[in-house]
Amino acid sequence: METISENKAFGGVQGVYSHQSHTTRCEMTFGLFLPEEARDGPVPVLWYLSGLTCTHENAMVKAGAQAWAAEQGIAVVFPDTSPRGEGVADDDAYDLGQGAGFYVNATQKPWAPHFRMWDYIAEDLPSMLQEEFPLDMSRQAITGHSMGGHGALTLAMSLPGRFRSVSAFAPICNPTGADWGRKQLQAYLGDDTGQWAAQDASLLIRERGFDGPILVDQGADDQFIDLLRPETLVAASAESRQEMTHRMQKGYDHSYFFVSTFMEDHVAFHAEALYAD
């Protein structure tokens, strides 16, 4: 692991680091905010997964999470959204390829050699973080925006016991039923739609659910709302009687102005679960 930068922030440290990932087979970059309490011992961890076209930097700079995380004594991890670099497959479209990993393990050419973002988030990066930083990996929570909200929800429901709480800002709720999803799932996973279901939050919440609290905020004026399909997630949670708070926020769009407005609520929501015992 190499340190790219470390800056004092809200009494803690906002760092940016790189490392060679054995899952994505390339160099990966991530951000990590450590609150002041980390000087004295391991602290709880909140994962933030970013959306399409983003890197580790977008949320780290724009979401305003550090101030609220410092108040709660929580670390925040900002992973990248895809593998990058020379030799890594890409596409001219913004919603496929580098910057658009969709947090899946690709099985199809040319994506399969590097696009293994599920394993990177679920196994590779957590293992390295636990070795290098004072993090309490028994107390983890996860959140994300848009494509990252999709990733947060699917990872939380597919890794029982890993995360104490999950939240999302304007998540892609039903990728198997929307243009933001069918294109990418077919490209990464192939034509067998049976393989797509494990990457669809609306299907997972009906079939598996999540043993903990869920919070979702959606901007009512989101320009991508028809692609996000929040109504499918609400309907599925009602049918399965899943505990979930879904808030439609009048006047808000899909931007980081929306995310930063409600970040305090989300950090407080996760802090309650992370410090429950």
As annotated, the active-site residues are 146, 222, 254
Asked if residue 227 lies in contact with residue 192, where contact means CB atoms within 8 angstroms, the answer is no
Give dist(CA 71, CA 74) in Å, integer: 8
Query: In the beta sheet, which residues pair with residue 71?
Result: none
Cβ neighbours of residue 62 under 8 Å, at least 6 residues apart? 256, 259, 260
Give dist(CA 266, CA 107) in Å, integer: 34
* Region label for 252, one of left (φ > 0), alpha (ψ between -120 and 50) or beta (otherwise): beta
Torsion of CA 120, 126, 132, 135, to 10 degrees: 150
Asked if residue 227 lies in contact with residue 236, where contact means CB atoms within 8 angstroms, the answer is no
One-character DSSP codes across 70-116? HHHT-EEEEE-SS--STT----SSTTSBTTB-TT-B--STTTTTT-B
The one-letter amino acid at 255: S
Asked if residue 105 lies in contact with residue 185, where contact means CB atoms within 8 angstroms, the answer is no
Which phi and psi (to 5°) does residue 276 adopt?
-60, -30
